[in-house]
Amino acid sequence: MDDIEIDEVATPELDDPVLIEGLPGVGHVGKLAAEHLLEEFDGELVRRVYTTEFPPQVSVDGDGVAELTCAEFHAVETDGADLLVLTGDHQAGSNKGHYTLTTTFLDIAAEFGATRAYALGGVPTGELVEEYTVLGAVSDGDLVEALEDAGVEFRPDEPAGGIVGVSGLVLGLGGRRGFDAACLMGETSGYLVDPKSARAVLEVLAALLDFSIDYESLEDRAEEMEEVVGKIREMQDGPAVPDDDLRYIG
Amino acid sequence: MDDIEIDEVATPELDDPVLIEGLPGVGHVGKLAAEHLLEEFDGELVRRVYTTEFPPQVSVDGDGVAELTCAEFHAVETDGADLLVLTGDHQAGSNKGHYTLTTTFLDIAAEFGATRAYALGGVPTGELVEEYTVLGAVSDGDLVEALEDAGVEFRPDEPAGGIVGVSGLVLGLGGRRGFDAACLMGETSGYLVDPKSARAVLEVLAALLDFSIDYESLEDRAEEMEEVVGKIREMQDGPAVPDDDLRYIG
Amino acid sequence: MDDIEIDEVATPELDDPVLIEGLPGVGHVGKLAAEHLLEEFDGELVRRVYTTEFPPQVSVDGDGVAELTCAEFHAVETDGADLLVLTGDHQAGSNKGHYTLTTTFLDIAAEFGATRAYALGGVPTGELVEEYTVLGAVSDGDLVEALEDAGVEFRPDEPAGGIVGVSGLVLGLGGRRGFDAACLMGETSGYLVDPKSARAVLEVLAALLDFSIDYESLEDRAEEMEEVVGKIREMQDGPAVPDDDLRYIG
Amino acid sequence: MDDIEIDEVATPELDDPVLIEGLPGVGHVGKLAAEHLLEEFDGELVRRVYTTEFPPQVSVDGDGVAELTCAEFHAVETDGADLLVLTGDHQAGSNKGHYTLTTTFLDIAAEFGATRAYALGGVPTGELVEEYTVLGAVSDGDLVEALEDAGVEFRPDEPAGGIVGVSGLVLGLGGRRGFDAACLMGETSGYLVDPKSARAVLEVLAALLDFSIDYESLEDRAEEMEEVVGKIREMQDGPAVPDDDLRYIG
């Protein structure tokens, strides 16, 4: 096997498509957001990318059939812009792999005519988030204004540790080769999978690319997560009968 | 030394041989099963595969002679199908190495005319196993029925974490190049070397490939393991005098 | 992207320039010193070096614009020697990467006509430093005397663990290809960013290369660090009421 | 810099020289033994091997001069056989590097006409060693008898974990290309640098290659180590006044 192998599943004509990257990361915000796009809009699988940078792993589907780990591009037509949505279960396994793989991803996007790219992700706050701000970073200062109009917040020198992984390189490498690239980072505690943060990111994206989308299934996942959190709290706190009551009985 | 070096020890004519992979993994189930095949059927060593992906290591035999770490293929003639059994002491040392090495393994299998492959392994349950179910995963949905007839169980989306290492790639890469590949995973606690789980896997394999095999030596190993487990329990529990007795004395 | 990519931003004529390396390391002494040179002398950016050895990362500036991680060379004209100052946020990510990257750095220095190199860094003492000695190591014994005249101390076989990273290789690889290379290591506790140690290193460098430089902003940073240390102590010690007072109350 | 660079310092004529490998390992037994050969016999440096597999590091000598980390071959003439002694401060940094580097080492040995190789090392016992047995392993069963005559012990399948690192590959790769290779492993606790174990290994080597050598400086190092061990014990045990004495006073 070559270091990277690309299966060309389909090559539909797309109208000035926008690359949307949603690989795993903080709070799985980017991945949740990208997968929600695929669920709501019935995307068409167009490319599979296999690489020796991914773990040597297959996943098993509902029928017991194994599929080799890969990243996938789906073409998605919305009522607004056409999208080229990149999802998968893994980032690269090495520094160099991140560079090589992101270069391949940008090559594929360019092949479909994309000149704009949004890297979706989360930014950890370390505490429970009440209001889901979406932080931005761009490959070019000219892009800031339109993003601010869509509700994105820019904070000087933030995130302090920079942006790492494929999302960071979509900006860094994408910008160097002429993409108009932006990173949309939903604030999230960093401790849990966060569908609410994914929704906040998608709302910004919908405003920017002029499409409308339903959030019900994402809300359902958010409620499931809240139940999980509730149960964890219960287990930590023990039965909900306070000491005072016991004394009263005594 | 090249990244991979293959010693061609012998090249016997085999009749539609089936690749059986049994490298180290969970509960050493696959390795035990493959080695049991070699013990019972007197296989002929046909290939040694050396690679810089293996640890820089020699093993020392009963006469003090060192042998460089390698994976070995043995040709095995049973009363049923011909087998090409792959064993060894190591998996690859890197993501990329797993892909490269499995490709080499499949090349060798193809060279001997193999078109079918079984990756043997264990699947951890986290608790003591009473009944040794064998879980399956396949490269192609058409293979499911025959496996179910032989007693293999298929559970949607299991194992949840996918299948990793050479076994996973025998399915993933093998399937992509046209092998009919299946993974047979014996349930096992995951904490101990498990000859009973290896037997369960072999029973399925014998049914599938129509050979008969004796399990006595594997049973012996299972009994040894049980003695070991018994001793560990004793050490943890202290002397075997139950509380009741002590009260009686009191 | 290639393993190493060099952006040729500018190629000014320099007069026998001296390579000054100040990448991150112990106490960030080298980095602080090199950055102080850039602040005080208004250097001109001449080269950016991108490499797959750096983390897959962008930093975000005050306007929200992302820049791909790189190392930078600035040409700096002082009242003494011309300098070629190498700074950045990262060392290489692997053994091999350190060798490859340092070779590239030395290539660039040679391209500008540099034949001398100073690697700036810190050497950890494990305790608070009162007097900031600068330790030296050289690629050639003939360089010792001039450095001692400038106040550098040489101690046989020190630092005991050798010198690692790009600084070590500027000596090791630089010396092998004919550079007159020296490492100037400011003593520092090793626990904190140490602007005072950076000043000590710069004072030696200024004496060696016959330039004068203001240290005010470095002193300001040193004071900030002392405030930080003070606050950490307070937090550890609790409220500043001494035991004696309590007894008096008693 | 290439992955491996060899400085050809000298190429004296040697008479059927024997490769002696003594790189760092368990108890530094091999390294101590090889360095003792160089001290006692005044070897001539013949090759330096630099590699990107070694840490990016220079060591600093007594005059403050830095030398890039390397492995060294010395030609050593004894009253018995001629030796080619390989020493250094590091093993390779990766699996593949161990294979590549050992191949280079064997190439150099072959270039000097060596056909025999001894890899010196230690084998950990986990407890204090009273009698310093030397364990053996060979590339060819024909070598066992001569080694046993020189006092080497062979134990079936030991060491249980095999032999790792350059020593293991001198046997594994050396044997594959026709070297008569043996590993001499001095028993050692595994917790401390062990000059006594190094002496035991050298005594075997002297008997095998028919040279005589003085052990005084190695004994001095052994005594120093014992003082160190004594001090560590004192620190752990507290002041050396036994309980009995205290009771007597009472």
pLDDT at B50 over 90: yes
Nearest Cα to Cα of residue C209 among C73, C76, C39, C28 = C76
* Helical H segments across A76-215, by residue range: 95-111, 144-149, 165-176, 195-209
Judged by CB atoms closer than 8 Å, whether chains meet at B154 and A3 is answered as no
Residues of D within 8 A of C185 (CB-CB) are none
How many other CB atoms are there within 10 angstroms of residue B128's CB atom?
Answer: 10
pLDDT in the model for residue C234: 83
Chains B and D touch (3+ CB pairs under 8 A): yes
A-chain residue closest to C59, CA distance: A162
Kindly report the average pLDDT of chain C as a whole number.
Answer: 93
Residues of C within 8 A of A100 (CB-CB) are 1, 52
A92 neighbors A53 (Cβ within 8 angstroms)? yes
User: Which residue in B52, B58, B65 is closest to D96 by CB distance?
Assistant: B52
For range A103-113, the mean pLDDT: 98
Contacts of D11 (CB under 8 A, 6+ apart): D46, D112
Residue C91 and residue B196: Cα distance in Å, rounded? 51
Q: Write the pLDDT tens digit of every residue in A167-206.
A: 999 999 999 999 999 999 999 999 899 999 999 999 999 9
**What is the architecture of the domain spanning D4-215?**
3-Layer(aba) Sandwich (3.40)
pLDDT in the model for residue C186: 98
Residue A68 and residue C209: Cα distance in Å, rounded? 60
pLDDT at C139 over 90: yes
For range A62-87, the mean pLDDT: 97
Residues of B within 8 A of D168 (CB-CB) are 56-58, 66
Judged by CB atoms closer than 8 Å, whether chains meet at D56 and C92 is answered as yes
Residue D5 and residue D12: Cα distance in Å, rounded? 20
Q: Write the pLDDT tens digit of every residue in B216-245.
A: 999 999 999 889 888 888 887 765 444 444
Q: Please identify, in words, the CATH class of the domain defined by A4-214.
A: alpha beta
For range D23-42, the mean pLDDT: 96
A-chain residue closest to C62, CA distance: A156
B-chain residue closest to A67, CA distance: B172
Confidence of residue D242 (pLDDT cuts 50, 70, 90): very low
Tokens 């359902």, residue located:
A220
CA angle C75, C77, C82 (to 5 degrees): 80
The number of residues in chain C equals 250
ipTM for the complex shown:
0.89
What's the helix, strand, coil split of chain D in %, to 5? 40, 25, 35
pLDDT in the model for residue B239: 56
Strands A82-88 and A18-21: what pairing? parallel
Judged by CB atoms closer than 8 Å, whether chains meet at C52 and A100 is answered as yes
Judged by CB atoms closer than 8 Å, whether chains meet at A61 and B157 is answered as yes
Judged by CB atoms closer than 8 Å, whether chains meet at B60 and D175 is answered as no
- Chain B residues in contact with chain D using a Cβ-Cβ cutoff of 8 Å: 1, 3, 52-69, 93
The number of residues in chain D equals 250
B202 neighbors B213 (Cβ within 8 angstroms)? yes
For range B103-126, the mean pLDDT: 97
Distances, alpha carbon A68 to alpha carbons A24, A25, A48, B162, B185, in Å: 17, 21, 10, 10, 18
Residue predicted with more confidence, A248 or A55: A55
Judged by CB atoms closer than 8 Å, whether chains meet at C58 and A154 is answered as no
pLDDT in the model for residue C231: 86
Confidence of residue A249 (pLDDT cuts 50, 70, 90): very low
How far is D74 from chain B, CA to nearest CA, in Å?
24
Judged by CB atoms closer than 8 Å, whether chains meet at B57 and D99 is answered as no
- Chain D residues in contact with chain C using a Cβ-Cβ cutoff of 8 Å: 1, 3, 52-69, 93
Residue D196 and residue B240: Cα distance in Å, rounded? 45
Judged by CB atoms closer than 8 Å, whether chains meet at D3 and C175 is answered as no
pLDDT at C51 over 90: yes
pLDDT at C33 over 70: yes
Judged by CB atoms closer than 8 Å, whether chains meet at A67 and B98 is answered as no
Kindly report the average pLDDT of chain B as a whole number.
Answer: 93
Residue D24 and residue D61: Cα distance in Å, rounded? 19
Residue predicted with more confidence, B95 or A248: B95
Residues of C within 8 A of A172 (CB-CB) are 57-58, 66-69
Q: Write the pLDDT tens digit of every residue in D83-138.
A: 999 999 999 999 999 999 999 999 999 999 999 999 999 999 998 888 999 999 99
Confidence of residue C238 (pLDDT cuts 50, 70, 90): low
pLDDT in the model for residue A248: 35
pLDDT at D240 over 90: no
- CA pseudo-torsion sign A106, A108, A111, A117: negative
For range B7-21, the mean pLDDT: 97
First to last CA, chain A: 73
Residues of B within 8 A of A60 (CB-CB) are 137, 157-159, 162-163
The subunits that touch chain B, with at least 3 C-beta pairs less than 8 Å apart, are A, D
pLDDT at A244 over 80: no
pLDDT at C106 over 90: yes
For range D201-221, the mean pLDDT: 96
Judged by CB atoms closer than 8 Å, whether chains meet at D63 and C103 is answered as no
- Residue from A2, A9, A53, A68 to probe the interface with B (highest B Cβ count within 10 Å): A68
Chains C and B touch (3+ CB pairs under 8 A): no
User: Which residue in A136, A157, A171 is closest to C58 by CB distance?
Assistant: A171
pLDDT in the model for residue A1: 78
- For chain D, the structural domain boundaries read 4-215
For range B69-89, the mean pLDDT: 97
Cis bond upstream, residue D159 (ω within 30): yes
Q: Write the pLDDT tens digit of every residue in B121-179.
A: 999 999 888 899 999 999 999 999 999 999 999 999 999 989 999 999 999 999 999 99
Residues of B within 8 A of D169 (CB-CB) are 56, 58, 68
Confidence of residue A239 (pLDDT cuts 50, 70, 90): low
Residue predicted with more confidence, D237 or A69: A69
Judged by CB atoms closer than 8 Å, whether chains meet at D64 and C141 is answered as yes
The subunits that touch chain A, with at least 3 C-beta pairs less than 8 Å apart, are B, C
- Chain C residues in contact with chain D using a Cβ-Cβ cutoff of 8 Å: 92, 95-96, 98-100, 102-103, 136-141, 144, 154-159, 162-166, 168-169, 171-173, 175-176, 183
Kindly report the average pLDDT of chain D as a whole number.
Answer: 93
pLDDT in the model for residue C219: 94
For range D41-52, the mean pLDDT: 96
User: Which residue in B156, B166, B175 is closest to A66 by CB distance?
Assistant: B175
How far is B121 from chain A, CA to nearest CA, in Å?
14
pLDDT at C241 over 90: no
pLDDT in the model for residue C128: 86
Residue A175 and residue A169: Cα distance in Å, rounded? 9
Judged by CB atoms closer than 8 Å, whether chains meet at D168 and B61 is answered as no
Residues of D within 8 A of B60 (CB-CB) are 137, 157-159, 162-163
User: Which residue in A3, A55, A64 is closest to B164 by CB distance?
Assistant: A55
Helix (H, G, I), strand (E, B), or coil: what is residue B50?
Answer: strand
Q: How many CB pairs under 8 A join B and D?
A: 85
State CA A236 to chain mean position distance.
31
pLDDT at D228 over 90: no
Q: Write the pLDDT tens digit of every residue in C200-218.
A: 999 999 999 999 999 999 9
Chains A and D touch (3+ CB pairs under 8 A): no
Q: Write the pLDDT tens digit of every residue in D47-63.
A: 999 999 999 999 999 99
C204 neighbors C151 (Cβ within 8 angstroms)? yes
D-chain residue closest to B60, CA distance: D157
D73 neighbors D34 (Cβ within 8 angstroms)? no
pLDDT at B249 over 50: no
Residues of A within 8 A of B162 (CB-CB) are 57-60, 66, 69
